[in-house]
Amino acid sequence: MLDYLNLDYKPSDNDLKVMYYVEKAADTSSIEKACEEIAKESSIGTWTDIVTLSEDIAQRLKPCVYHINKEKKIIKIAYNEELFEADNISQILSAIAGNIYGMKAINNLRLIDIEFPKSIVSVYKGPKFGIKGIRKLLKVFGRPLLGTIVKPKVGLNPKQHAKVCGESWIGGLDIVKDDENLTSMKFNKFETRVKETLKIRDKIEIETGEKKIYMPNITAPVSKMKERADFVIEQGGEYVMVDIITLGFSALQEIRDYLDDKNVVIHAHRAMHAAITRDPKHGMTMLSIAKISRLIGMDQLHTGTVVGKMEGGEKEVVDINKVLTNMFIEEEDYSMLHQDWGNIKKTFPVASGGLYPNVVHKLIDILGTDIVIQAGGGVHGHPEGTEAGAKAMRQAVQAYLDNINLSEYAKTHNELKKALEKWKYLK
């Protein structure tokens, strides 16, 4: 029987390393046995000895379980780079996050983190724009980018949609995006919506002297996505949005490659991620999805808010943002594996979900200024409407930058004052 366990093994720079949380099944003799089953099922082995497995294959390609922390139930496995088709994320995940989830030897399995070797990182383009490119495009430096999501999510016709966008922009927001379930509906056809919205954008850019961005959701079968992306670009659009999980990673790779020679930023919405990431004992982490998204080339990615309505603790969200922006993370048993990104640009973290002016100071304190703040209800729910809601968000950010308490700033800024009153600001 081939031995996959070697706690003295020192992974090489050519190994792809994976960290898992593992709970063995009651009738599995030990955590070591469970680890062996995971390692062989994700690579060259199966449930019994096989005559087709030569000594050469076994010694050259077998992965190695090199770390086990029984108390925390954390293990690390190093995989030979030859086990993977480097430019095929779907194949890589079929190995390290595939059949192993269904094995009887385990009760729970969670992929915590991945460290890709240079041989894999080097074949990916990463973000075309990244944080620096996006800031240069919008000419916004030193503060978070501010955006909203058109609400209601669905139901508005193209002209109504464009009107909401216009009010958001005139109020001072940089960005307006479609929601995750708005594509091309009977009551709001994609092409008409894009035309109407970009027409308003052009008008307001002239009025305000500020760059304004619209992110239409092009999520669809790949051939249709390409058509929609081309249409956006033809109309003068500079951004597209995709739902990365429901779309699938192979489609994501294809649309990123297709858009490589086109001057368009890709915004990544993570709708459905919690079906995979939310269980703390099973599935895979949002951190690992974030790494994959940056590798493939998402310029912006939803990562969580800490203070909003969406699930995700402070350490989790902060660590994800650090991974996207190359910030240092301490190496611990239960923290991140190191990742050398080479020339891959940084991805802009996006905070979205239950945000409003009252929480802006706390949000920036936790996540910093290199974020995109997307507030939907926190803009359109303002007592005086969308334009006032946009102004209140912009005022809340400016108060932070000027180091002024929100209540104090609100004394001379009525839109912020009304927002603080509605959402019961207490500080």
- Give the residue carrying structure tokens 């104090």: 408
CATH code of 15-121, in short, is 3.30.70.150
Q: Specify the pLDDT at position 40.
A: 82
Strands 283-284 and 265-269: unpaired
Map out the domains of the chain as residue ranges: 15-121, 130-422
Per-residue confidence band for 1, with pLDDT thresholds at 50, 70 and 90: very low
Domain 130-422 is found in CATH 3.40.50.2300: no
- Residue 177: active-site member: no
Average pLDDT over residues 194-204: 98
Say how far apart CA 27 and CA 326 lie, in whole Å. 42
Mean pLDDT over the full length of the chain: 91
Average pLDDT over residues 85-103: 94
pLDDT in tens, 284-295: 999 999 999 999
Say how far apart CA 67 and CA 75 lie, in whole Å. 5
Question: Which range is least confidently modeled, 6-20, 304-318, 353-367?
Answer: 304-318
Residue in 364, 125, 365, 386 with CA at minimum distance from that of residue 259: 125
Say how far apart CA 338 and CA 335 lie, in whole Å. 10
- Residue 282: active-site member: no
Q: Specify the pLDDT at position 17.
A: 96
- Give the residue carrying structure tokens 């593992």: 22
Residue 236 vs residues 66, 196, 227: alpha-carbon distances, Å:
52, 12, 15
- Give the residue carrying structure tokens 């005022």: 395
pLDDT in tens, 367-417: 999 999 999 999 999 999 999 999 999 999 999 999 999 999 999 999 999
pLDDT in tens, 240-290: 999 999 999 999 999 999 999 999 999 999 999 999 999 999 999 999 999
pLDDT in tens, 221-238: 999 999 999 999 999 999
99 or 331, higher pLDDT: 99
Catalytic residue among 67, 125, 151, 322: 151
Neighbours of 364 (CB within 10 A): 19
Question: Which range is least confidently modeled, 130-139, 268-277, 318-327?
Answer: 318-327
Per-residue confidence band for 337, with pLDDT thresholds at 50, 70 and 90: confident
Sheet holding 175-177, edge to edge: 213-215, 175-177, 145-149, 372-374, 348-352, 300-302, 265-269, 239-243
193 or 306, higher pLDDT: 193
Per-residue confidence band for 41, with pLDDT thresholds at 50, 70 and 90: confident
Catalytic residue among 24, 161, 269, 361: 269
Q: Specify the pLDDT at position 42.
A: 74
